Each structure stands twice: as structure tokens, then as C-alpha cells.
């Protein structure tokens, strides 16, 4: 007879689960051997003073999981189950020390993060209306698996929009939507020759660099001059694929002039298997002049792979990025990834389409450009005032960040530590240095200062704390 103590106190587990759990333990401990017949449901219910339904639910769960088998009109029996090789019971789950995460709250911090956007001015009500309209108008699409490249109508909207705003020449069929730039690059490297040699800007986007290195790719780095990636180094290293951020070099902020763009396009057109990947990550925001058309708009040989994102213009959490594939690579994509599952939310794609088609997206960008320009101007003014000639600003005419070179005897590590002590979020240039053996400039620390997340009324306080971190208490 099975003895099962039933806990009937408030908050105890359901009775059927207590029965299920105890029988399972008895099977594992070999107190109930394979082939052993269990009491009938009625018999066990009377023994335990519980309902037959509770016993039946426990038996059915054990049957479904394979602990029991049944014979018609004969009852339930213990199944033949292997014993675990490991002798020790795992006990409570514990992570090794280096795997434990400590949630870090940023409440009360002042943020100069280059990765964040201003959520205070995001049109959440408008976005929710777009989602509601998407739900009411696209019920069938939401209930089905969409195309691997994304919803076709959404790709149509994106194609029209980037043609108008960035001069990008493409058809909807060439666009691949994904939940982030990294996943697009992961897909892209599968379309290129396995032996392809990649080259990236130095300093540059370290996440992509690490992704390619982890994939076993050969990745060269090319230093910058005042026009961007040095063309002489490109010819010397002769890579197959270039990663560039011509509209606002990440992180230095250099805007590549048309002379250098034409040089890059001439270089790529001269090689049969060469490509340029253009990461146009924050081109929506330009100050003092109109936006500059994308490098892809000048491409005459279908060798530029254009990558865009809505992370900076909307919210990073929405997870919508896209790339425009030349037709040669699109054919490879269709052969190799026709089975892929679209990673970006269909509802989010359809809401984005509604936002763009209604004109609300363009209104939002215009509004945010004005807000960001005011923040940028105020931050630069505050830096000049607090640092009194000991700061040089670079790359400030576009995007949501710029670089500030500070005169100081402190190391970058010390500056960042002191900033953290003052609850200031900021990142140094070493974060974006791809090959760490580069020499450091003594007497100068370069910080990448984002101005999207910081509130306008926090700028002076944040700059004052930054001064304390960089050169406070120094003897002038």
C-alpha cells in the first residue's frame, strides 16, 4: 500500500500534484519496481481520503510522462525506467560564482550612453494605435508564419521610405528584415565565401568584430583619417568585404565626403567578389545641414549591402533592422535561408508600416531631431564652460553621440571608475578599439558622449560630475 501524507493547509500544492510527486519519488527510489500494479483509483482515493478525480489526475499525468502504463480493465502499472548514472541528487540549483548576475539599477544615474534613446518623447499612444490597427487589419498574417525576409507589404513600405530619405535603390524583394543588426551580419557572412577576408574601421563596432572573429573569420582593421577609412590601407590589405559607417562613423563621428565614397566604390567595383557593408545606424539625425544620401545610392555595380535599423529613431527594444541585398547575394539567400523563421515580431513590423504610412514616423523624426539638437548644443556649451579649454569636441554634426578628447593626467580606467562612483554612465574609446595593442595618447582621454537619454535639465549636473571624474582636484 502506498502511504502519501496529504498537506491540506492553505497554500499547499494541489492534492493531485502531491500524489503525483510522491509516486514519482517512489519509482525513482525503486520502492515501486517495474511492473508493480498500483492501487485502483477508488482504492487509493479511499485510503488517502481524497476525491477520485485527484487520484485520476495524478495517474494520468504519470501516464503521460511515461512513469506508468495501463492495461485495459487491469489498471495502472510501473513502467520500466532506467536509473540515473549520477549517484548524487542535484538538490537546489546553484550557479557557479562567475555565472551569477547582479541586476544593476540605473535609477538616479546620469547617462551619457551612446546606446540609448530618449524614451520620454516617444509617441507611445500613437504606437499603440498603430498596433491596434495592425491587429484589426491583419488578423490572418498574425496567425501564420510570415516570409523569412519579413512581411512583403512592410518591405514595400521600407523600400519606398529609404528611397525617399536615403536615396537607396532597391525593390522589396531585396530587403531582409530581422530582429537586429547582429543577426543580419550572422546571415550575411553565410552568403559570402567562407574564405572571405573582412576589414573594419579602427576604432569601430566591436560587437560585429567579435561576432566575425567567433565565426572564425579573418578580420583586418583599418585606421581612419579625416575622411574615414584610409584608402591606401584598403589597397594594401586588399580585403574582400569592408564594413563602413560613412554617414556618421562609429564611434568617431566622421562623415565620409563624396571623394572618399567614390574611391571606395571604385575599389569595390574592380574586384569580382568584393563587397561593402554600409551600416547606416543613425542617419536620421543631422544638424546644420540636410542628411547625406547613403553610399548605396551612388553604387553602380551592386556591390554595396545596405543595413538600416529603427533602434535609434524609435526604440532599441522594438528590434527591427533590415538589410538590402544585391541580387547576386539575394539568390544565395533564397537557396540557403528559404527555411528560416522570421525573427522580428510580425505585429511590430505591421505597426511600423502603419506608423510610416500615416506620416507619424516622419513627424516623430522631425520632432526628435529638434530635441536632440538642443540637447547636443547644450551639452557642448556645458563642456566648454566646465572644462575651460581642456576639451576638444569631434564628430558632433550628426547622430546621437560625439567624441570628447579631455586633457588629463588620469588614465581612461581611472576616469571611468571615478565617473561610476559619481553614478555617471559613460564609455571610453578603448571600448571601440578592435585591436588592443594600439598605443595610447598620454595626457588625453577620449570619451564617447551620447546625449539622447540624458534629460536637458541634467546636462549641467552631469558635466560637472564628469569634470570631477576627468580632472577634479588636479593642480592646474
Percentage with pLDDT > 90 across the chain: 86
- In which band, very low, low, confident or very high, does the pLDDT at 288 lie, cut at 50, 70 and 90? confident
pLDDT given at position 476? 39
Query: Dihedral sign, CA of 372, 374, 377, 378?
Result: negative
pLDDT given at position 475? 47
Q: Taking residues 164-168, what's their average pLDDT? A: 96
Q: Taking residues 230-236, what's their average pLDDT? A: 96
Q: Cα separation of 107 and 110, whole Å?
A: 9
Give yes or no for a contact between 268 and 301, defined as CB atoms under 8 angstroms apart.
yes
pLDDT tens profile 297-348: 999 999 999 999 999 999 999 999 999 999 999 999 999 999 999 999 999 9
- Answer whether residue 292 shows pLDDT above 90: no
- In which band, very low, low, confident or very high, does the pLDDT at 168 lie, cut at 50, 70 and 90? very high
- Answer whether residue 439 shows pLDDT above 80: no
Query: Dihedral sign, CA of 79, 80, 84, 89?
Result: positive
Residue among 230, 249, 201 at smallest CA distance from 394: 249
Kind of pairing, strands 427-428 and 444-450? antiparallel
Residue among 291, 269, 274 at smallest CA distance from 397: 291
pLDDT given at position 440? 59
pLDDT given at position 291? 81
Its pTM stands at: 0.88
- Answer whether residue 113 shows pLDDT above 50: yes
Domains, in order of start, for the chain: 15-78 (1.10.10.10), 110-115+363-471 (3.90.1150.10), 140-358 (3.40.640.10)
Instruction: Look over the chain and give the mean of its residue pLDDT values, rounded to a whole number.
Output: 93
pLDDT tens profile 92-107: 888 898 999 988 788 8
Q: Taking residues 140-151, what's their average pLDDT? A: 92
What contacts 342, CB < 8 A, 6 or more positions away?
145, 146, 147, 148, 149, 150, 177, 178
Q: Taking residues 270-282, what's their average pLDDT? A: 95
pLDDT tens profile 172-210: 999 999 999 999 999 999 999 999 999 999 999 999 999
Amino acid at each position: 500500500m502506498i502511504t502519501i501524507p496529504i498537506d491540506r493547509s492553505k497554500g499547499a500544492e494541489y492534492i493531485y500534484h502531491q500524489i503525483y510527486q510522491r509516486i514519482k519519488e517512489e519509482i525513482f527510489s525503486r520502492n515501486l519496481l517495474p511492473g508493480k500494479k498500483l492501487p485502483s483509483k477508488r482504492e487509493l482515493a479511499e485510503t488517502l481520503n481524497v476525491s477520485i478525480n485527484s487520484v485520476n489526475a495524478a495517474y494520468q499525468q504519470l501516464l503521460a510522462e511515461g512513469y506508468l502504463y495501463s492495461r485495459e480493465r487491469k489498471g495502472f502499472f510501473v513502467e520500466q525506467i532506467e536509473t540515473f548514472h549520477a549517484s548524487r541528487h542535484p538538490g537546489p540549483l546553484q550557479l557557479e560564482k562567475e555565472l551569477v548576475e547582479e541586476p544593476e539599477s540605473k535609477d538616479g544615474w546620469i547617462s551619457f550612453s551612446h546606446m540609448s534613446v530618449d524614451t520620454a518623447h516617444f509617441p507611445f499612444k500613437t504606437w499603440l494605435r498603430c498596433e491596434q490597427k495592425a491587429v484589426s487589419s491583419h488578423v490572418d498574417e498574425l496567425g501564420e508564419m510570415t516570409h523569412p525576409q519579413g512581411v512583403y507589404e512592410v518591405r514595400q513600405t521600407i523600400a519606398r521610405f529609404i528611397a525617399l530619405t536615403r536615396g537607396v535603390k532597391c525593390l522589396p524583394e531585396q530587403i531582409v528584415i530581422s530582429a537586429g543588426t547582429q543577426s543580419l551580419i550572422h546571415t550575411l557572412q553565410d552568403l559570402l565565401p567562407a574564405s572571405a577576408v573582412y576589414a573594419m574601421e579602427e576604432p569601430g563596432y566591436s560587437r560585429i568584430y567579435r561576432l566575425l572573429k567567433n565565426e572564425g573569420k579573418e578580420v583586418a582593421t583599418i585606421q581612419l583619417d579625416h575622411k574615414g577609412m584610409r584608402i591606401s590601407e584598403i589597397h594594401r590589405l586588399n580585403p574582400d568585404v569592408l564594413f563602413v559607417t560613412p554617414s556618421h562613423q562609429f564611434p568617431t563621428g566622421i562623415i565620409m565626403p563624396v571623394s572618399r565614397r567614390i574611391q571606395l566604390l571604385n575599389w569595390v567595383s574592380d574586384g569580382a567578389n568584393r563587397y561593402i557593408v554600409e551600416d547606416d545606424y543613425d542617419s536620421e539625425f543631422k544638424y546644420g545641414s540636410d542628411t547625406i544620401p547613403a553610399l548605396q545610392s551612388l553604387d553602380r555595380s551592386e556591390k554595396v549591402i545596405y543595413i538600416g535599423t529603427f533602434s535609434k529613431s524609435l526604440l532599441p527594444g522594438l528590434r527591427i533592422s533590415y538589410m538590402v541585398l544585391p541580387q547576386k547575394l539575394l539568390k544565395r539567400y533564397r537557396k540557403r535561408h528559404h527555411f528560416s523563421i522570421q525573427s522580428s515580431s510580425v505585429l511590430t513590423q505591421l505597426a511600423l508600416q502603419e506608423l510610416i504610412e500615416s506620416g507619424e514616423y516622419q513627424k516623430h523624426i522631425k520632432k526628435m531631431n529638434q530635441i536632440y539638437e538642443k540637447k547636443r548644443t547644450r551639452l557642448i556649451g556645458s563642456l566648454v564652460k566646465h572644462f575651460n579649454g581642456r576639451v576638444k569636441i569631434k564628430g558632433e554634426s550628426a547622430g546621437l553621440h560625439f567624441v570628447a578628447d579631455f586633457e588629463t593626467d588620469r588614465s581612461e580606467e581611472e576616469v571611468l571608475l571615478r565617473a561610476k562612483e559619481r553614478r555617471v554612465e559613460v564609455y571610453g574609446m578603448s571600448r571601440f578599439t578592435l585591436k588592443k595593442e594600439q598605443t595610447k595618447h598620454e595626457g588625453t582621454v577620449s570619451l564617447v558622449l551620447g546625449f539622447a537619454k540624458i534629460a536637458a535639465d541634467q546636462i549641467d549636473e552631469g558635466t560637472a560630475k564628469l569634470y570631477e571624474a576627468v580632472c577634479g582636484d588636479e593642480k592646474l
